[in-house]
Amino acid sequence: MIELLATSSTARLATLLAVFALVALIAFVAINLILRRRAAQNLLQDFAGGQPGNTGNAPTLRAKQNQSAWAQLARRIEEAGLDLSDSRDERLSERMRQAGFESPMAPRIYTMVRLGMIFLLPGLYLLIALTRPEPPSFLQMYIVGSLLGLLGLFLPTLFIQARADRRYEEIVNGFPDCLDLMLVCVEAGLGIEAAMDRVGREMVQSHPLVAQLLSIATLQLRAGASREEAFRKLADAASVDEIRSFSTLLIQSDRLGTSLGSTLRVYAEEMREKRRMRAEEKAHRLPVLISVPLVVFMLPTMIGVMMLPASIRMVREIFPMMTGG
């Protein structure tokens, strides 16, 4: 085994990667156990220090969400002196909500991950490059390290954008079905709150994101919020134009006293029409997308097959005649 490591660079690289993965796994498990033990100790201290029936200092769900491992790591980095806040914090928070990250610490965790990726990818490249028998030149390491640093800077942004686009598509595709069910519930005699609650519980398996938004709006209504406030928060949490229009429509219908059933029926028809138009648009884009591999791969082969007999004849007959052979 030692002789193989001494003679083979691939074996040395695989051994180094295995050792690095093992050390990282052990460190992750140890940190996770320490954080869980510390959280349990803090919870026991809170129970020991509190009085029975005194729930004023009890941790809320939002506080428990903010005490995750990533949030604690970001908080400790800020306590060490590195500010993770962004100059465009409101826009970044909006982007994180569009991607489905509702925690207030999400922008700081995002900034921390970007900073970590800037140093992590070039560090891994240098580790691999320096273990080779012939390490690359300084200029090559500088250029590749700079490119990997830029990749690490933009990779989290691409991930957030892709996640936001996927969430937007799931909400837009699932919202017309929820509107149809809500219309059935309203025409059956249920109020808007009961209809949203029923649809939210029915659509958990098929459209979980829309069901979550409707359930949150229902809980806000039950907690005492006005309809206008709950619908506006629904639109802000979804960050989708269709749901913003739906919330505005419900607010205007509630203010003017118009029929909610007819309002939902008209808007549901419009949503179904928009979904059909999006499907037709994707169908019309298929020939254009198919033409790209057709031109790149099949067209040169067809031209080569058609031109091959003429090329052979020119080589055998015409070229010798031109050279006097």
Question: Is 239 a member of any domain?
Answer: yes
Per-residue pLDDT at 222: 86
Mean predicted confidence (pLDDT) in 267-275: 82
Query: What is the predicted pLDDT for the residue at 1?
Result: 54
Q: What range does the domain containing 229 cover?
A: 169-277
The answer as to whether 71 is a domain residue is no
- Cβ neighbours for 40, distance < 8 A, ≥ 6 positions apart: none
**Do the domain assignments include residue 313?**
no
pTM score, whole prediction: 0.62
Average pLDDT rounded to a whole number, residues 149-153:
86
Is residue 314 one of the residues assigned to a domain?
no
SS3 label, residue 61: helix
Structure-model confidence comparison of residues 259 and 203, the more confident one: 203
- Say yes or no to pLDDT of 311 above 80: yes
Assigned domain for 76 exists:
no
- Residue-wise pLDDT for 206-234, tens only, equals 888 888 888 888 888 888 888 888 888 88
**Whole-angstrom distance, CA of residue 231 vs CA of residue 253:** 12
Question: How do residues 91-108 score in pLDDT, each as one tens digit?
Answer: 777 788 878 787 777 788
pLDDT of residue 30 exceeding 50, the answer is yes
Q: What is the mean pLDDT of the chain?
A: 78
Residue 126 lies in a domain: no
Q: Is 277 left (phi over 0), alpha (psi -120 to 50) or beta?
A: alpha
**In contact, 213 and 247? CB cutoff 8 Å:** no
User: What local confidence, expressed as pLDDT, does residue 68 receive?
Assistant: 65
